[in-house]
Structure 1
Amino acid sequence: MGFAKTEEEWQARASAFLKAKMKEAEVTYAEMAKRLKKHGLSETEASITMKLKRGTFSAIFLLACITVLGLTGIDLEDI
């Protein structure tokens, strides 16, 4: 697939990546909020929904989501 070429493409792909990984893991937005809280992030189901809908979120949020989903060995070309 190759790397994204624009900021908008990065946003859309990062959001789609997280949504797909959550679906694969059968993790709901509410469950994601609970898991993130255990790692010090105060997110709600609604805040996660909006971040993924907009596609704008911090690297900290992305890394925390990857961590709580138990993802390892991510190839950046998959995002």
Structure 2
Amino acid sequence: MAEKTDWEARAANLLKAELKRKGVTYSQLVEKLAEIGIDEKEANIRNKLSRGKFSAAFMLACLQAIEVSSLTL
């Protein structure tokens, strides 16, 4: 079984890939999250993604904000 850090890296890489695929910057993600009622700072998002430490709820909110309807794992 993979260590926790492996799963964190996979989650972060998955979210980063979707942002890249949609052409969304961290700054734009902040704006899109605000549109759905989530207040985040760009620095906080950058830190969460670089560490891979964020909740499933945060990931789902980001995916919703950038209009991702399906993922391939």
Q: TM-score, normalization: structure 1?
A: 0.84
Matched residue count: 73
CA positional deviation for 1:68: 1.1
Partner in structure 2 of residue 50 of structure 1: 47
Q: 1: CA distance between counterparts of 2:20 and 2:14?
A: 10
Q: What amino acid does structure 2 have at the position aligned with 1:46?
A: A
Q: TM-score, normalization: structure 2?
A: 0.90
- From 8, 26, 30, give the equivalent of 1:29: 26
1:14-45 deviation digits (Å, cap 9, x = unpaired): 00111111111110000000001111211111
Structure 2 residue 47 is matched with structure 1 residue 74: no
Q: Structure 1 unaligned segments of length 5 or more: list them.
A: none
User: RMSD over aligned Cα, in angstroms?
Assistant: 1.3
Structure 2 residue 41 is matched with structure 1 residue 41: no
